[in-house]
């Protein structure tokens, strides 16, 4: 920074950086306050593969309710490969989750099924006091 001496009294062409530093500090404080408030994504329950591949997956813990398509007929319902009717669904789920601490259920619907049938199963699961309900989708192969 150059200093002028003498009694010239004219204009100086030196840049005053103090206002720019003040603006920079204010912007820095604003960004430091905003960054922790950024929203995070949705919490989704996804079935996890077993940590040990040789370990047999515990089918008694994971409850999957399937809604299967039947042409010109109401859908077929299954709880872990066991056929049930729609009327039996609520009592069976209530019995299953009566003594469980972890109340997680997955719903899997066929591609051709109307979503209203899947939504009814979700409502039945909520009525059976299931805390977390996840939707299972078919596997998507890479490159398609």
**What local confidence, expressed as pLDDT, does residue 92 receive?**
92
Binned at pLDDT 50, 70 and 90, residue 78 comes out as: very high
Decide if pLDDT at 142 tops 60.
no
Mean pLDDT of 115-124: 91
Q: Is residue 107 part of a domain?
A: yes
Q: What is the mean pLDDT of the chain?
A: 80
Query: Any idea of the CA torsion for 23, 24, 30, 35, to the nearest 10 degrees?
Result: 160
Domain residues for the domain of 106 are 63-136
CATH number of residue 79's parent domain:
3.30.420.270
Mean pLDDT of 131-140: 80
**What local confidence, expressed as pLDDT, does residue 137 receive?**
78
Asked if 25 contacts 19 with a C-beta cutoff of 8 angstroms, the reply is: no
Mean pLDDT of 94-99: 88
Q: Is residue 112 part of a domain?
A: yes
Q: Is residue 5 part of a domain?
A: no
Q: Is residue 54 part of a domain?
A: no
Mean pLDDT of 67-76: 89
Q: Is residue 49 part of a domain?
A: no
Mean pLDDT of 6-23: 77
Mean pLDDT of 106-114: 89
User: Which region among 8-17, 29-38, 72-81, 103-112 has the lowest average model confidence (pLDDT)?
Assistant: 8-17
Q: Is residue 15 part of a domain?
A: no
Q: Is residue 42 part of a domain?
A: no
Q: Is residue 90 part of a domain?
A: yes
Decide if pLDDT at 8 tops 90.
no
Query: What are the E-state strand segments in 19-103?
Result: 63-68, 76-79, 82-84
When divided into structural domains, the chain yields a total of 1
């Amino acid at each position: 920074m150059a200093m002028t001496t003498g009694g010239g009294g004219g204009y100086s062409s030196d840049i005053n950086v103090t206002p720019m530093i003040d603006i920079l500090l204010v912007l820095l404080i604003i960004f430091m306050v905003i960054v922790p408030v950024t929203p995070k994504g949705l919490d989704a329950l996804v079935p996890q593969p077993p940590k040990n591949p040789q370990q047999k997956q515990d089918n008694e813990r994971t409850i999957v309710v399937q809604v299967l398509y039947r042409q010109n007929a109401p859908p077929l319902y299954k709880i872990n490969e066991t056929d049930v009717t729609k009327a039996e669904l609520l009592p069976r789920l209530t019995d299953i989750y009566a003594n469980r601490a972890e109340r997680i259920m997955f719903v899997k619907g066929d591609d051709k099924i109307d979503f209203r049938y899947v939504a009814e199963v979700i409502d039945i699961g909520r009525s059976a006091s299931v805390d977390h309900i996840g939707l299972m989708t078919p596997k998507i192969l890479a490159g398609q």
